[in-house]
Structure 1
Amino acid sequence: MDFPIYISFGLFKLHPHLLFESLAYFIGFRVYLKMRGQSKLTMIQAMWVVFGAIVGASIGSKLLAWLEDPMRTIEQWNHVSYLMQGKTIVGGLLGGLIGVELIKKRVGITRSTGDDMIFALITGMTIGRIGCFLTGLSDQTYGIPTSWITGIDFGDGVMRHPTQLYEIVFLVFLGVLLYFIKKNIPLHDGALFQLFMIGYLSWRLLIDFIKPTPHPYWGLNNIQIACLLGLIYYGWICNKNISGERKRTKNA
């Protein structure tokens, strides 16, 4: 295959990253509206949540991307073209989480909203990763060279781990697992989203060991550090919930 693989529509050819990123946002938003219909949020509240998620994700994805190579970012701080390049899913998830929580406090939403977003996020991320794969080397989401049977030549003669495809398989598995849990195991509001975040952050912590990005933070890269911080936070949340449940059971 020759990368990037452009998508043809008659006389027009669209870059795969642009096409699939646009589809990810559009379809993901439709899935969110569908899931929101099963919650108690009003349309206005749902739009505020989406606004907080978009703004937070935009800021978080950029900030974390700049930390991939901090010395280069410092050197290029006055070059707008460099600062506008790159973004990360992990930064978007964590930034979106912060943005949503701030918006919820601002508009008075007290219930958990994360469960409404899980399958929209998984859908959007899966579609987006298709675009990452079809873009090839310029997207810089591939893995390190490998002799595995799964290795793919993205155009420079080197067989590399197609980590984009690995992630698609993982996201499908995670989505099926969470859907099964949602249908068969009673959980408190927000617990399913916590499981999603723990699952995805754990995945990224591990898979980034086979990505050729700089690892300047004690052998870890910027995304892995963010994953560790996120896992510590969700570990604290889960422990807090378990303690609260035990207390309620004891007092019952």
Structure 2
Amino acid sequence: MIILPDFDPVALRIGPLALRWYGMAYAAGFIVAWFWGNRRAQEPWRGVTPRRFDDLVTWLILGLVLGGRLGYVLFYNPSYFLAHPADIFKVWQGGMSFHGGAIGVILVLFLFARRYGIPFLTVGDFLVPLVPPGLFFGRLANFVNGELWGRPTDLPIGMVFPNPLAGGVPRHPSQLYEAGLEGVCLFLLLWLYSRKPRRIGSTGGLFLMGYGCFRFLVEFARQPDTQLGYVAFGWLSMGQVLSVPMILVGLWLFLRPSPIQGQ
């Protein structure tokens, strides 16, 4: 059993400015994505030029933040935010949905592709390998903040989280499971697969399948959201329900016949 220290959610204070772990995780994810995206954009066959990638980053930040926050509000705690609408804007307190962020990103990708005349799936294939580092940092921030903990366990890796709502019992560090699977493993999978030209849409499909499967599995070790519990069949969480369509769409994109990118 490991007792997790009660970390301060504020990583650094500079006068009146407070830098929170959650915000720093988002910043780190965007910085890594920006550097790697610029490197990928140097290869002409990928279909996104360095200049267009710089434009795309602005669109992505908007889609990710708005989609992630609204997704959390609508999918995970609508009754609370209906009663406290001002709290919707307090993103620094946490509360972002990956599935909502994915919807937001898909919408801005569609608008971006239409605006600049680039095929939507080409932009998606370029973008998705840049996502896992952000997922990695985000899950580490969840761990440091002592939130989104796992279900009770008697395994040696069980951790006691300082939040009283965790009950003071050893639990799975499901945040670290997700950091390893959605961050590290998914990154390696997409990086290795996308090193050379592939069928248009297949890289995006691999991302949807990979994330959906990893998230579905980890949810068996993650404590369901208190306000929701199990939402289907008495054993499926909201995260698992939202992951199923991702897996199905990803499988279709990965298997569908399509031209090779850049040919």
Q: 1:248: which partner in 2?
A: none
- SS in structure 2 of the partner of residue 178 of structure 1: helix
Q: 1:178 aligns with which of 190, 207, 216?
A: 190
Amino acid at match of 1:135: N
With over 3 angstroms needed to count, the CA separation of the structure-2 counterparts of 1:130 and 1:186, relative to structure 1, is same
Q: Does structure 1 residue 56 correspond to structure 2 residue 63?
A: yes
Amino acid at match of 2:28: L
For 1:180-208, what per-residue CA distance to the aligned partner results, in whole angstroms no more than 9, with x for missing partners? 3334x752233122212210111112222
Q: 1:125 aligns with which of 114, 135, 159?
A: 135
Q: 1:238: which partner in 2?
A: 254
Structure-1 separation of matches of 2:246 and 2:205: 10
Q: Note the aligned Cα RMSD (angstroms).
A: 2.9
Q: Is the 8 A contact 2:206 2:254 kept in 1?
A: no
With over 3 angstroms needed to count, the CA separation of the structure-2 counterparts of 1:53 and 1:222, relative to structure 1, is farther
Amino acid at match of 2:238: N
Q: 2:175: which partner in 1?
A: 164
Structure-1 separation of matches of 2:127 and 2:253: 18
Amino acid at match of 1:16: W
Structure-1 separation of matches of 2:149 and 2:179: 13
Q: Does structure 1 residue 207 correspond to structure 2 residue 218?
A: yes
Q: Does structure 1 residue 73 correspond to structure 2 residue 85?
A: no
Alignment of 1:64-143 (within 5 A): 64-69=71-76, 73-74=78-79, 76-84=81-89, 86-110=95-119, 112-136=122-146, 140-143=147-150
Structure-1 separation of matches of 2:11 and 2:88: 28
For 1:202-251, what per-residue CA distance to the aligned partner results, in whole angstroms no more than 9, with x for missing partners? 11122223323122344433332221122222233334x23x57xxxxxx
TM-superposed CA distance for 1:14, in Å, is 4.6
TM-superposed CA distance for 1:120, in Å, is 2.1
Alignment of 1:134-153 (within 5 A): 134-136=144-146, 140-153=147-160
Identity of aligned residues (%): 24
Q: Is the 8 A contact 1:77 1:83 kept in 2?
A: no
For 1:141-171, what per-residue CA distance to the aligned partner results, in whole angstroms no more than 9, with x for missing partners? 2112211222111214321111111112213
Alignment of 1:5-20 (within 5 A): 5=8, 7=11, 14-20=19-25
Q: 2:31: which partner in 1?
A: 26
Identify, as 1 or 2, the structure richer in helix. Answer: 1
With over 3 angstroms needed to count, the CA separation of the structure-2 counterparts of 1:51 and 1:217, relative to structure 1, is farther
Structure-2 separation of matches of 1:25 and 1:74: 31
TM-score, structure 1 length as denominator? Answer: 0.79
Q: 1:4: which partner in 2?
A: 7
Amino acid at match of 1:216: V
TM-superposed CA distance for 1:109, in Å, is 1.2
- SS in structure 2 of the partner of residue 160 of structure 1: coil
Larger deviation, residues 52-61 vs 191-200? 52-61
For 1:105-143, what per-residue CA distance to the aligned partner results, in whole angstroms no more than 9, with x for missing partners? 13211260223223321112112222221111xxx3211
TM-score, structure 2 length as denominator? Answer: 0.76
List runs of 5+ in structure 2 lacking aligned partners: none
Structure-2 separation of matches of 1:119 and 1:231: 17
